[in-house]
Amino acid sequence: MAPRIEIDLGKIRENTRFLVDALRAKGIRVAGVTKAVCGDPAVAGAMQQGGVSLLADARISNVARLRSAGITCPIELIRSPMPSEVDRVVETCAASYNTEMEVIADLSASALRAGKVHGVILMVEMGDMRDGICPHELGRYVSLVAHLPGVALSGIGANFACLGNVSPDDEAMAAFSDLVKDIEIDAPPLKAVSGGGSANLPWAFASGTKGRVNELRLGEAILLGTDPVSGDPIDGLHTDAFRLVAEVIEANCKTGHAGPRRVECENSEAHLGEVGATSRIILALGMQDTDVHGLTFPPGVAAIGATSDHTVLCSSERGFRPGAEIRCGVSYGALMRAMNARDVERVYVEAGSSFGQIGEPLQARPTTNIGVTLAPVVG
Ligand SMILES: *Cc1c(COP(=O)(O)O)cnc(C)c1O
């Protein structure tokens, strides 16, 4: 069936294991972030097998998916709860990230009703300018949490390179760590000092002190093996755990048209140069199914444009017929959309099984494995 997303759980398990081990040596634990796969329980299970004992997601609907699949480990909600969903947050999450006093008060009331204690992690604004409490306001939030029943301060968190594309440096991370000392004057030691996401890995792997940071929330590095700031592959990680496979529905040479607007796909410039826009291929895949801009196509194939239901490619290869399959690499955004799309089937495989390359041996980037399956030419 196409379109489908092929998910290699073995590679996700290995990526997780690599990161968990490398960061443990630095005194940092990993929260496995499942939002890009919409809380897919099989992917979360692979993260757990890779050594993660804490999961994190931005949406309560994804958390519910994990819970109904029987996943019982602590899960953190890493987006500030909507006031309308606090009961579900208290019911399903060990802790949530918070930036608003009213929401914390709602959580407190809900936890009291449920007879629970909900963990509050205060998200601090460290320059990303998305969600976060300004550092000079932090003291007020700490004492609010201390005075409210049903909630307990579990820690603090920071975001880097989410909205602003700035990766954290030693100075920013030291400033974040220093906040802990001030908080602990009036509060018991913090359990979680969560320094950020995959964008923090260059800082985490570098030599030098990690201060009080003892947690990173990792999504992209585990799933795609890439650094979200540079887009570069991270040494030691698989970059091909996900492949999006689409089927050809038309393959023709078209002449006499002013070409449509070309999408800026990874490597498309290079490929267009090589192929000289010979044959045109249409895939039964469109912007409803994924972010076509975030796909990586096999060598010799480049994207010309995409609409809601069609993706138009050009190729130097003339063997494509309707029914042929093209296997693409995905960016974080393309992955997220594909995992959300109703018509994209999910196919799970384990590392070691034949995966990716069928038909022509194609060389893409060193660690990627993107393939083309040519349908037999009939007649
Ligand atoms: C998405 C997200 C993460 C994970 O980011 P990656 O770059 O995928 O590792 C971490 N923290 C928060 C608050 C997030 O929203």
For residue 35 and ligand 1, the question of a CB distance below 6 A is answered with: yes
Min mean pLDDT across 1-5, 90-94, 234-238, 250-254 is at 250-254
For residues 83 and 25, membership in a common domain is answered with: yes
Q: How many CB atoms lie within 10 A of CB 4?
A: 19
Distance CA 149, CA 109 (A): 8
Which pLDDT belongs to residue 373? 66
DSSP letter for 288, please: T
Report whether 333 contacts 219 (CB < 8 A): no
- Region 302-326 average pLDDT: 90
- The 10s digit of each residue's pLDDT in 243-264 is 999 999 999 876 654 454 454 5
pLDDT at 329 over 90: yes
For residues 201 and 76, membership in a common domain is answered with: yes
CATH code assigned at 295 = 2.40.30
CA of 33 to the centre of ligand 1 (A): 7
Q: How many CB atoms lie within 10 A of CB 143?
A: 13
Mean residue pLDDT of the chain comes to: 87
For residue 217 and ligand 1, the question of a CB distance below 6 A is answered with: yes
- Region 67-72 average pLDDT: 97
pLDDT at 362 over 90: no
For residues 98 and 12, membership in a common domain is answered with: yes
pTM of the model: 0.89
Which pLDDT belongs to residue 141? 95
Among 23, 34, 78, 128, the mutation site with the greatest number of ligand 1 atoms within 8 A of its Cβ is: 78
Per the structure, the complete domain to which residue 254 belongs is given by 242-343
- What is the token pair recorded at 6? 């092929």
pLDDT category at 2 given cuts 50, 70, 90 is very high
Total domains in the chain come to 2
For residues 171 and 50, membership in a common domain is answered with: yes
pLDDT category at 365 given cuts 50, 70, 90 is very low
215 located within any domain: yes
For residue 335 and ligand 1, the question of a CB distance below 6 A is answered with: no
pLDDT category at 217 given cuts 50, 70, 90 is very high
For residues 122 and 216, membership in a common domain is answered with: yes
For residue 219 and ligand 1, the question of a CB distance below 6 A is answered with: yes
Distance CA 94, CA 107 (A): 12
231: alpha, beta or left, given left = phi > 0 and alpha = psi -120 to 50? left
82 located within any domain: yes
For residues 108 and 214, membership in a common domain is answered with: yes
For residue 159 and ligand 1, the question of a CB distance below 6 A is answered with: yes
Which pLDDT belongs to residue 77? 98
For residue 58 and ligand 1, the question of a CB distance below 6 A is answered with: yes
- The 10s digit of each residue's pLDDT in 141-174 is 999 999 999 999 999 999 887 677 667 899 999 9
DSSP letter for 226, please: B
For residues 184 and 276, membership in a common domain is answered with: no
pLDDT category at 186 given cuts 50, 70, 90 is confident
- Region 335-360 average pLDDT: 74
Q: Whose CA is nearest to atom 5 of ligand 1?
A: 197
pLDDT at 268 over 70: no
For residue 32 and ligand 1, the question of a CB distance below 6 A is answered with: no
- Region 308-320 average pLDDT: 88
Q: Which residue has the tokens 């940092």?
A: 28
